[in-house]
A = this chain, B = another copy of it.
Amino acid sequence: MFNPTRQIAAIPLFSGLSREQYEALSRIGVRRSSAKNERIFSEGDEGTGFYVVLAGRVKISKISAEGKEQILHFFGPGECFGEVSVFTGQGFPADAVTAAQTTLLFFPRTSFVSLIRNDPALALNMLAQLSRRLRHFAGLIEDLSLKEVPGRLAKYLLYLSGRDGDAGAVELDISKGQLASLLGTIPETLSRILAKMNRQGLIRSRGAQIQLLDRASLEEIALEGKKLP
């Protein structure tokens, strides 16, 4: 059987707390499992609490006035989302949908706030977490506003290859359409840029498998804004 306290200790948001604190948290956390493509909440819904991903993946996105979807982020195991609404008391600012079979832990707003009200250490952890998130957004803004699509794609590929550890090959874990939206563009444009990068010998892609052949050039495109010819 699973051990709630141990699972909570593995969540970065709650790292470094005492045994009693973990137990208090596991008492107020509510477990919830969802199949793929189930909706967790919608933009505008009242924020009654926040979620931690135990297993699986959750997609956070917004729908524009013209009906296009802009994916803001994917959250995986150990990451939390929806905390902002806990403290602002407003509705959720975006949609959340599972991108795979997913297990979540839900922390209701009222019980969590009363917990934090007595516990500076817990609050400090959350502050650091929110700060990191804020930094991430600042980077995202920079990406969207200062770089063109090939740069964003190059950066994403390098990010994936760094995380996967191995030297050259990368496996996309989302569809190309979703990747396009995550990069702030559309599938056609992404497809053309991938084809071009293949032609230039920067990558070698077959389906979701992508080998990075010329990391140096990719870095020039991602970091220095160099254009791909």
Listed in ascending order, the chain A residues whose CB lies under 8 Å from chain B are 62, 64-66, 68, 70, 72, 83-88, 90, 93-94, 113, 116-121, 123-124, 126-128, 130-135, 137-142, 144-147, 184, 223-225
CB pairs A–B below 8 angstroms (11 shown): A83-B131, A84-B134, A87-B124, A88-B128, A88-B132, A90-B135, A116-B124, A118-B120, A130-B131, A134-B137, A137-B141
Given contacts A225-B64, A225-B66, whether A94 and B145 have CB atoms under 8 Å apart is no
Please name the residue on chain B nearest to A71 by beta carbon.
B145
Closest-CB distance, A16 to chain B (whole angstroms): 13
Q: Chain B CB within 10 Å — which of A121, A128, A135, A138 has the most?
A: A138
Closest-CB distance, A111 to chain B (whole angstroms): 15
The distance in angstroms between the C-alpha atoms of A184 and B145, with both chains bound, is 6
